[in-house]
């Protein structure tokens, strides 16, 4: 696979100076970019943002009209903070503009002949929205994927099984990043679990990318077939995305123990790129692709920035994606971030995980509850399988939360179950701040999620219409 690396490396045309990543011991894909000072990052971002806003203004009828209405113009951007004068955009606007001017909408800033790729996401309303890319956008994305894989320790010697959906899903082409890096790239997609396990065994795959739920499910499926993933399979790195689990330490620890592998959380968004942030080998937060996106974390109610370490809604602005610039896109994801230096030497800011989505957040008895907080508790206690379900009802105008969890023991006394429930309930109260009735179920009672897990049953809508 080293030969493939040499052929595919970005600077392969140049024979004089080897690219940093061409050496096996090199830590960085692009050392100058990844380790530059924060001041240098800010200068780079400001320069990119100025020309990107100009491109959006000239190319997109939507931005011209929206900014005129808001009384702003790209020439007014002198600092990165000035971006806060520009209006937000969200998924609903993207969908509405696409419906108004099909097929891609007037947020697009290039002629259709320049678009070479689209991904489509259906979203909760069922109307698919397309994310268009020019060839340059696509090439930039794949180069970033290669850099991200490299930062997570993937190397040309690896055999990588890409197990994300290929059908119109922006996660699909991310496999080309591993291929560009020089790893053997197995385009597995969403194969049935039995076949995927057989492929992993046959080709001795060393790395895989799935959702956290599926990584868990696949490991449990292997065990049911008499295969111990940690002992019998050669997977040593698991990339995960699509659910908060990859940044919940308790979930990561359980998947790592199951597979004898390291789990790296990635974050992506089809409206931007396949992935926009990922864990380095330190696995302490996800480094942003700050040459491609400018990040804001805001209070979802006031729109004002929150302090480092505090939770807020993630707002992303593209810096280069020319087909459809996204300026101040409200993602609906609740995150926190840090600018503290990372031990890996990379200087980009890190997201400390996605805590949940605004629309996943439950308000129960006035308390904000993210399913990911409950998940962390369920996965810490090794007397529990880690599966869980939240059921919310409204009885006599009062919210009632029931948490169903599974014990690992096939049989247990009523006393043992009561003790387990009491322990969980106490943790829930002290960490999340909410009281719940806790039901202990035998193992394998709750439905196993395959891809994106649905673990909340909020029955209150029926009560209030
Ligand atoms: Zn790092």
- Report the separation in Å between the CA atom of 219 and the middle of ligand 1, taken as the mean of its atom positions: 27
Instruction: Give phi and psi for 141, each to the nearest 5.
Output: -60, -50
Amino acid 25: pLDDT: 56
86 Cα: distance to centroid of ligand 1 (angstroms): 31
* pLDDT digit string (tens) for the chain, length 465 residues: 443 443 334 444 333 444 455 444 589 999 999 999 999 999 999 999 999 999 999 999 999 999 999 999 999 999 999 999 999 999 889 989 999 999 999 999 999 999 999 998 765 455 688 999 999 999 999 999 999 999 999 999 999 999 998 888 889 999 999 999 999 999 999 899 999 999 999 999 999 999 888 999 999 999 999 999 999 999 999 999 988 788 888 889 999 999 999 999 999 988 888 889 999 999 999 999 999 999 999 999 899 999 999 999 999 999 999 999 999 999 999 999 999 999 999 999 999 988 877 777 787 877 778 888 888 899 888 899 988 999 988 887 778 899 999 999 999 999 999 999 999 999 998 888 888 999 999 999 988 766 556 788 888 754 332
Q: How far is the CA of 341 from the centre of ligand 1 (A)?
A: 8
Q: Are residues 121 and 161 in the same domain?
A: yes
Neighbours of 280 (CB within 10 A): 25
> If you measure from the C-alpha of residue 343 to the centroid of ligand 1, how many angstroms do you get, rounded to a whole number?
6
Measured in angstroms, how far is the CA atom of residue 344 from the centroid of ligand 1? 4
The SS3 call for residue 94 is helix
CA of 169 from ligand 1 middle (Å) equals 27
| pLDDT at res. 380 | 87
Q: 285 alpha carbon to ligand 1 midpoint, in Å?
A: 8
90 Cα to the center of ligand 1, angstroms: 30
CATH number of the domain within which 460 lies: 3.30.300.30
| 6 alpha carbon – ligand 1 mean position (Å) | 26
Taking the C-alpha atoms of residue 382 and residue 411, their distance in angstroms, rounded to an integer, is 15
Q: Which domain holds residue 223?
A: 1-359
Secondary element (H or E) of residue 357: strand 350-357
Is the domain of 383 the same as that of 317? no
CB-CB neighbours of 229 under 10 Å: 24
Number of domains in the chain: 2
Instruction: Give, in degrees to the nearest 5, the angle at Cα 309 between 303 and 315.
Output: 35
Q: Please check whether residues 207 and 261 belong to one and the same domain.
A: yes
At 433 the pLDDT is 84
Which pLDDT value is given to residue 394?
Answer: 81
The number of beta carbons lying within 10 Å of the beta carbon of residue 58 is 11
Using the 3D structure, point to which of 359, 394, 420 is the last residue of a domain: 359
254 lies in the same domain as 396: no
Give me the pLDDT at residue 303, please.
94
Terminus-to-terminus CA distance in the chain, angstroms?
A: 59
Burial status of residue 384 (CB atoms within 10 A of its CB: 0-12, 13-18, 19 or more) = buried
Distance 288 CA to ligand 1 centre (A): 10
Rounded to the nearest angstrom, the distance between the alpha carbon of 338 and the centre of ligand 1 is 12
389 and 290 assigned to the same domain: no
Question: CA-based Rg of the chain, rounded to a whole angstrom?
Answer: 23
CA 264 to chain centre: 10
284, 189: one domain: yes
Span from the CA of 350 to the centroid of ligand 1 (angstroms): 8
Instruction: Compute the distance from residue 289 Cα to the ligand 1 centre, in Å.
Output: 12
> 349 CA to middle of ligand 1, Å?
9
Question: How many A from CA of 180 to the centre of ligand 1?
Answer: 21
Nearest alpha-carbon partner for 221 in 239, 253, 198: 198
Boundary-marking domain end, from 359, 394, 417: 359
**Residue where a domain stops, chosen among 292, 324, 359:** 359
**Whole-model pTM?**
0.81
Ligand 1: centre distance to CA 23 (Å): 20
Distance (Å) from CA 9 to ligand 1 centroid: 23
CA 30 to ligand 1 centroid distance, Å: 14
Distance 287 CA to ligand 1 centre (A): 6
Ligand 1 mean position, distance from CA 125 (Å): 37
279, 290 contact by CB (below 8 A):
no
| Same domain (yes/no): 255, 332 | yes
Q: Are residues 337 and 374 in the same domain?
A: no
CA of 346 to the centre of ligand 1 (A): 5
Is 404 found in the same domain as 256?
no
The b-or-e profile of 65-83 (16+ CB within 10 A means b, else e) is ebbeeeebebeebeeeebb
39 CA distance to ligand 1 middle (Å): 18
**CATH number of the domain residue 69 falls in:** 3.40.50.12780
**71 and 133 share a domain?**
yes
For residue 402, the SS3 value is strand
Prior bond of 103 cis (ω within 30°): yes
146 and 11 in one domain? Answer: yes
Indicate if 350 and 401 belong to the same structural domain. Answer: no
Distance 286 CA to ligand 1 centre (A): 8
């Amino acid at each position: 696979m080293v030969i493939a690396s040499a052929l595919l490396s970005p600077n392969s045309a140049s024979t004089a100076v080897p690219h940093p990543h061409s050496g096996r011991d090199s830590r960085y894909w692009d050392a100058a970019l990844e380790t530059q000072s924060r001041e240098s990052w800010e200068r780079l971002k400001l320069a990119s943002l100025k020309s990107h806003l100009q491109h959006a203004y000239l190319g997109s009828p939507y931005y011209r009209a929206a900014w005129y209405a808001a009384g702003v113009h790209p020439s007014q951007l002198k600092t990165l903070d000035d971006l806060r004068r520009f209006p937000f955009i969200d998924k609903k606007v993207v969908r509405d503009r696409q419906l108004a001017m099909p097929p891609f909408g007037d947020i697009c800033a290039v002629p259709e002949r320049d678009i070479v790729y689209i991904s489509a996401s259906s979203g909760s309303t069922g109307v698919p929205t397309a994310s268009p890319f020019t060839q340059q956008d696509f090439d930039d994305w794949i180069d970033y994927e290669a850099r991200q894989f490299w930062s997570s320790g993937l190397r040309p010697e690896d055999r990588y099984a890409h197990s994300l959906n290929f059908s119109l899903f922006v996660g699909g082409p991310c496999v080309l990043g591993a291929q560009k890096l020089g790893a053997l790239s197995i385009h597995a997609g969403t194969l049935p679990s039995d076949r995927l396990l057989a492929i992993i065994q046959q080709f001795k795959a060393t790395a895989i990318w799935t959702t956290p739920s599926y990584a868990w499910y696949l490991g449990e499926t292997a065990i049911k077939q008499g295969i111990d993933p940690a002992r019998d399979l050669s997977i040593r790195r698991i990339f995960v995305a699509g659910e908060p689990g990859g940044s919940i330490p308790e979930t990561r620890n359980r998947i790592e123990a199951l597979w004898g592998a390291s789990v790296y959380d990635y974050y992506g968004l089809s409206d931007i790129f396949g992935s926009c942030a990922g864990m380095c080998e330190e696995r302490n937060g996800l480094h942003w692709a700050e040459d491609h996106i400018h990040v804001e974390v805001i209070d979802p109610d006031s729109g004002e920035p929150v302090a480092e370490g505090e939770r807020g809604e993630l707002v992303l602005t593209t810096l280069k994606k020319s087909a459809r610039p996204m300026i101040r896109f409200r993602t609906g994801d609740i995150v926190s971030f840090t600018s503290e230096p990372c031990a890996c030497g990379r200087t980009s800011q890190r997201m400390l995980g996605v805590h949940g989505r605004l629309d996943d957040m439950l308000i129960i008895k006035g308390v904000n509850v993210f399913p990911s907080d409950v998940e962390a508790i369920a996965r810490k206690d090794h007397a529990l399988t880690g599966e869980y379900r939240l059921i919310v009802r409204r009885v006599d105008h009062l919210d009632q939360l029931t948490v169903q969890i599974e014990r690992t023991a096939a049989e247990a006394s009523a006393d043992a179950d009561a003790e387990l429930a009491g322990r969980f309930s106490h943790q829930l109260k002290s960490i999340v701040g909410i009281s719940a009735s806790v039901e202990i179920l035998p193992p394998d009672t709750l439905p196993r999620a395959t891809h994106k897990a649905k673990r909340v049953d909020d029955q209150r809508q029926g009560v209030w219409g």
